[in-house]
Structure 1
Amino acid sequence: MSAAVQAKPQSRLLLSGNDAIARGVWEAGAKVAAAYPGTPSTEILESLSLYPDLYAEWSVNEKVAMEVAIGGSMSGARSFCAMKHVGLNVASDAFMTVTVAGVIGGLVIAVADDVGMSSSQNEQDSRFWGRFAHVPVLEPADSQEAYEMAKYAFELSEAYNTPVILRLTTRVCHVKAVVQVGERVKHDIGGFKSDARRWVMTPANAKGLLPAQIAREGKLQKLAEASPMNFLDDGSDKRVGFVTSGPAYMHLRESFPDAPVLKLGFTYPVPVALVEKLAAQVEHLVVVEETEPLMEQELKAAGLLKIHGKDLLPRLGELTPNVLIPAIKTFLGEPLPPTTTYPKFEPFPRPPTMCAACPHMGVYYSLARMRKNVQISGDIGCYTLGAGHPWNALDTTISMGASMGIALGMDKARSEETKDKSVVAVIGDSTFLHMGMQGMLDIVYNRGNVTVLILDNRTTGMTGGQNHAGTGKGLKGDETPRVDFVKLVEALGVKPERIKKIDPYVLPVVFKTIKQETAIPEVSVIITDRPCVLSEFYTKIEPYKVVDDDCTGCGNCINVGCPAITVKRSETKVRPDGKVNELKFTTIDTAMCTGCHMCVESCGPNAIVLAKRAAAAE
């Protein structure tokens, strides 16, 4: 067990925000927890799964995770689900309805916003869901608050018959701090009680529940005004007062230690009366919020017109001291503090790339060779890196599962320039199960001419290697039924003769199969079958080495994209016909090489051999 699980009552533990939320959920007596992995929220459920006396699962997507939690709540169990910001888009259908129906057991939804987009395709402000769905939003600023708010959220949920959003950001999720923890409380489960007027959400039943939702929001407004999570941190410098929430509070305190700050933890409904109290004490009022001006607009709509916010501060990224100090000092007409200058060093470029022996490399190596003849619709996962060097083999990446529908749209919108190009959709195993199956069905149903590549590496790779329904393992490593992708796509309507399962390490077969399937004007599916090199299912093979005397500098092995292969030296050679060849003589880091042999198959002069064989020859 982890130290967090073994901790005695009233222990002090060093916890990340994600770990602290897990601890708070467990201590609150939650019985059901579900999530789909997504940075920066992934570790919440991983940490929660280590605790006893509750059920936790990786769901196939965020909508299902939400529904599992809703079902638990309907049955009287305190229930929890977690996701990153874009995950709530997926889960919103079920979420928007349960906000009307309400809860029995407390229902808490942790949503982690990736402020600064360190690992996301957009920067989204999940606080808007509180306003949109008329539910309370809590925002912790550190790990201690994350722990405390997670516990309180269940009480709030049950007291006001509402789901509660716990809005996090990357800074809170991943930064560690000392947390004072307690012990788990017992929460009895009453069991599901049939009530069609409440749980069968026909229009007639839903209309009957809407007045209660509206009345609830008024009560929550009064609660927010009186909440100890919202407090005024007095300061002596009354020129500027600040309204803020989340980790921006920490940045403000560091930047302007003498300024009055209204720190909000219960951020929706916005406690307007508290803000008015601060406004009366200062010359200027500035709303500091990441990322959208939600509070600023709410306050202006309430009649507080002489306030500032996004007219001074950016809407993108974190509001750290190096952003806040220049903005506010410029506003006040003060000189900026002197900046310390350091010698400028250009770091060696290290673009993101795939791991050595990643099974996706062979697919992109082959697609890159066909680049002029294909349009390639990509998806969310490690294989998104196929858009980069040396492959440059992706045309689109929009959202989870979108490769399928986008590929069909490309197929149906062919122009004179693209009519002869093949359309390829690339998607991973976890992503296909998450949201790709419906798109696959749509391609079949609408007779698309698309070749779908399902890159099955038997893990959810980009978020750290979590299990899913295609791995044969559950959240805790227990054995589960494993999806057979061949049978699955056949059940979705793909002809058996158009389904190919291949080894992505065998480059001639990969290239030949893609070329053959894209030439046939109907739906086809190619499934690769090699595990992620970082997963428990991968077995390392003997590494390879380049024989220097045999290397011709053709550079084909570099085009595979393996980070274990580097250019040792380059030469320019002028051919008799006057053309110039750039030769790249390579070497392989045998400590990094895992023996996938893709580079061997790309090497014309057979200069790449097993390291042991090369050593014996020497």
Structure 2
Amino acid sequence: MNARSPVDTDKRLFVSGNEAVSLAARDARVKVAAAYPGTPSTEILEYVSRYPDIYSEWSINEKVSLEVAIGASLAGSRALCAMKHVGLNVASDALMTQTLIGAVGGLVIVVADDVGLSSSQNEQDSRFWGRFAHLPVLEPSDTQEAYDFTRAAFDLSEQYQVPVLVRVTTRICHVKGTLVTQDAVTAQPQAGFVKDPSRLVMVPGNAKGRIPLMHARDEALTEAAEASELNRVEAGERSDLGFVVSGVAYQHVKEAYPDAPVLKLGFSYPVPVEKIRAFSQQVERLILVEEVEPLLEKELKAEGIALEGKSVLPKQGELTPDVLKRSLEGGTSAAEEVKSAAQPELIAAAQEVFPRPPTMCVACPHLGVYYTLSKVKNTYISGDIGCYTLGAGHPWNALDTCISMGASMGVALGLDKGRQPEDANKKVVAVIGDSTFLHMGMQGLLDLTYNKGNATILLLDNRAVGMTGGQNAPSSGINLQGEQTAQVNFPQLVEALGVKKERIHKVDPYELPTLFKTLRDETKIDDVSVIITNQPCVLTERYKAMQPLKVEADDCTGCGNCLDVGCPAILVSRRETVIKPNGKEKELAFADIDTSACTGCNLCVNTCAPDAIVPADSLVANGYEALQSQNIDNLVVEVK
């Protein structure tokens, strides 16, 4: 379990933690790697895909990616699976059985926790899965350890025939650091798949026989954790204060208290209780620093070890040096912990510079969808996980729920079936992206049709996993290696899931009149309808920009309709207050367009009554005249 060995100094690199994990996979002779994109773990597989000796794939979801890795491990090959924290929830069904089966070839699951919620719907502590699934957990604290611990995880997996969790966090994934790589391991001959139904076929009788073996493995792993060099004591100059810490919080402790002794846990589960007990006797005050749950704190207190943890430290967010110092020395109370974790003074300073609410990209095909939904009344709108979740914000305010990937379908059915009598006339609309639909939404649509629900589904097919960087999905017809492959046919797919053919429509989201009419008509039908948009993500090579637009200032009336589209390229040039004939004040917002950012999608042209939006030069953009002739003066649709 020695994570380091003599290295060639010419192999020094400056890389992120995600790239370090991929380099470890390469040098550990991984044969199969699978993942589903999810920040902060996305780049791991993108880097792995550069190595031709490793088969790598974007799987349909995290459960499938783990199943692919499991199959490779059972075939005798080393396999890596990567996902963000909420992805491990999806994969847990396979995980909880595999803990009984174990591993043959090294099986490593890298799970990236989004501490601080930079791009996630919750803040989850994946260390719980080690306890729940009886799996060892390794926690690197920097780029070098992300590499070292991932390599060590494959050895540990094969030595104890167990899947291993490597828990990283956003700060490790995305922050770059110095890395010195080691020579790749020597390729070993693989035994291949060995039939063993008593181990591999988990019917109840076989599973019962594996449970004692799992408990025996737990005991052996506990001994390994107590002896592991990944758990080390660093002496300090003071005896009044000491720390037990794991993960990137170790760096924060060392910065805040460089003279304090530290027990750094790299092999954090099974818990090396006796090593911690011995360390606790060397200091007067022991502080346990863990992001984010008081998981280890409860376990150690149950063992009779005196320490402080979440009674003085925040229960959410990153435990940065500033937070540590303020909590331990500034008297931050438990009631103030959320305020401390968020560092409000830094947020206030940023707002003084310029507030930047999240928004969609210029010309995003979702803009027209949410502009349309914002004008539709008398609806419930259930949302999903993706770029289109931003539809809940300004200026659209057109999303009522967002739970988890694929949940929009089931929530829509629940809204339909659970509505109160006074809401009988409400229309239910669900919004979901193509990749999310394939990830976990198909089952929800089948449930809608099977149980005779009444909802209109907006399936936003931009042919990419847009929110995580535009990765290819089955909707694109291109795999991770850029090869042409089978492309899903959404009309045929949703029809196979029970949607009537006449209730399936493909619509160009840039053609607002057609989109409005289709949505209005389908929400009036007492049945399941699916409206499929068909324009690509603007950040992918599939998107073809047209001629940019500009605003003729003399023609602009200040109505502000184009601003409601929410396109970042449309700006307010000036505001003016006028008195209406009824004596009431009205604020006019005169628009301008950042021509350097505009891609000529013509969405704003559809909304401009005075025809003040024109091509940026004398040339006429493709389709511009036809779209201009379809101006919509009043886009408010009352669905009855």
**TM-score where L is the length of structure 1:** 0.95
Given residue 111 of structure 1, which amino acid in structure 2 is its aligned partner?
Answer: V
Q: Does 1:275 align with 2:276?
A: yes
Per the alignment, in what secondary structure is the counterpart of residue 474 of structure 1?
Answer: coil
Given residue 530 of structure 2, which amino acid in structure 1 is its aligned partner?
Answer: V
Given residue 507 of structure 2, which amino acid in structure 1 is its aligned partner?
Answer: I
Whether the aligned pair in 1 keeps the contact of 2:579 and 2:586 (CA below 8 Å) is: yes
Which residue among 508, 533, 543 is the counterpart of 2:538? 533
Q: Does 1:377 align with 2:378?
A: no
Whether the aligned pair in 2 keeps the contact of 1:545 and 1:614 (CA below 8 Å) is: no
Cα deviation digits, residues 40-70 of structure 1 (max 9, x gap):
0000000011012110000000000000000
Cα deviation digits, residues 376-399 of structure 1 (max 9, x gap):
000000000000011000000010
Cα deviation digits, residues 478-536 of structure 1 (max 9, x gap):
11111011111011110000000000000011111111000000000000000011011
Structure 2 counterparts to residues 208-607 of structure 1, below 5 A = 208-304=209-305, 306-330=306-330, 346-370=352-376, 372-607=377-612
| Aligned length in residues | 602
1:254 shift after superposition: 0.6
1:477 shift after superposition: 1.1
Whether the aligned pair in 2 keeps the contact of 1:565 and 1:587 (CA below 8 Å) is: yes
Given residue 546 of structure 1, which amino acid in structure 2 is its aligned partner?
Answer: V
Which residue in the other structure is 1:177 paired with? 177
Per the alignment, in what secondary structure is the counterpart of residue 405 of structure 1?
Answer: helix
Whole-angstrom distance in 2 between the partners of 1:583 and 1:332: 47
Per the alignment, in what secondary structure is the counterpart of residue 352 of structure 2?
Answer: coil
Whole-angstrom distance in 1 between the partners of 2:284 and 2:381: 56
1:360 shift after superposition: 0.3
1:189 shift after superposition: 2.6
Whole-angstrom distance in 2 between the partners of 1:441 and 1:71: 28
Structure 2, unaligned runs of 5 or more: 1-6, 334-342, 622-640
Per the alignment, in what secondary structure is the counterpart of residue 69 of structure 1?
Answer: helix
Whole-angstrom distance in 1 between the partners of 2:182 and 2:266: 21
Change (3 A) 1:210 1:76: same
Whether the aligned pair in 1 keeps the contact of 2:371 and 2:396 (CA below 8 Å) is: yes
Large movers: runs of 4+ above 4 Å: 7-10, 330-333, 341-345
Per the alignment, in what secondary structure is the counterpart of residue 467 of structure 2?
Answer: coil
Whole-angstrom distance in 2 between the partners of 1:612 and 1:155: 64
CA RMSD of aligned residues (A): 1.9
Whole-angstrom distance in 2 between the partners of 1:327 and 1:9: 40
1:549 shift after superposition: 1.0
Whole-angstrom distance in 2 between the partners of 1:596 and 1:330: 54
1:111 shift after superposition: 0.1
Whole-angstrom distance in 2 between the partners of 1:9 and 1:432: 47
1:581 shift after superposition: 2.0
Whole-angstrom distance in 1 between the partners of 2:394 and 2:166: 39
Whole-angstrom distance in 2 between the partners of 1:457 and 1:351: 23
Per the alignment, in what secondary structure is the counterpart of residue 488 of structure 1?
Answer: helix
Whether the aligned pair in 1 keeps the contact of 2:15 and 2:176 (CA below 8 Å) is: yes
Structure 2 counterparts to residues 146-165 of structure 1, below 5 A = 146-165=146-165
Cα deviation digits, residues 532-582 of structure 1 (max 9, x gap):
110110011001111111111111000011010011011111111223221
Q: Does 1:94 align with 2:94?
A: yes
Which residue in the other structure is 2:633 paired with? none
Per the alignment, in what secondary structure is the counterpart of residue 514 of structure 2?
Answer: helix
Identity %: 61
Whether the aligned pair in 2 keeps the contact of 1:547 and 1:614 (CA below 8 Å) is: no
Given residue 554 of structure 1, which amino acid in structure 2 is its aligned partner?
Answer: C
Given residue 239 of structure 1, which amino acid in structure 2 is its aligned partner?
Answer: D
Change (3 A) 1:586 1:77: same
Structure 2 counterparts to residues 83-162 of structure 1, below 5 A = 83-162=83-162
Given residue 79 of structure 1, which amino acid in structure 2 is its aligned partner?
Answer: A
Structure 1, unaligned runs of 5 or more: 1-6, 334-338
Which residue in the other structure is 1:3 paired with? none
Which residue in the other structure is 2:340 paired with? none
Whether the aligned pair in 2 keeps the contact of 1:9 and 1:182 (CA below 8 Å) is: no
Cα deviation digits, residues 123-165 of structure 1 (max 9, x gap):
0000000011111000000010010111110110011010000
**TM-score where L is the length of structure 2:** 0.92
Cα deviation digits, residues 62-97 of structure 1 (max 9, x gap):
000000000000100101100000000000000010
Given residue 524 of structure 1, which amino acid in structure 2 is its aligned partner?
Answer: S
Whether the aligned pair in 2 keeps the contact of 1:77 and 1:188 (CA below 8 Å) is: no
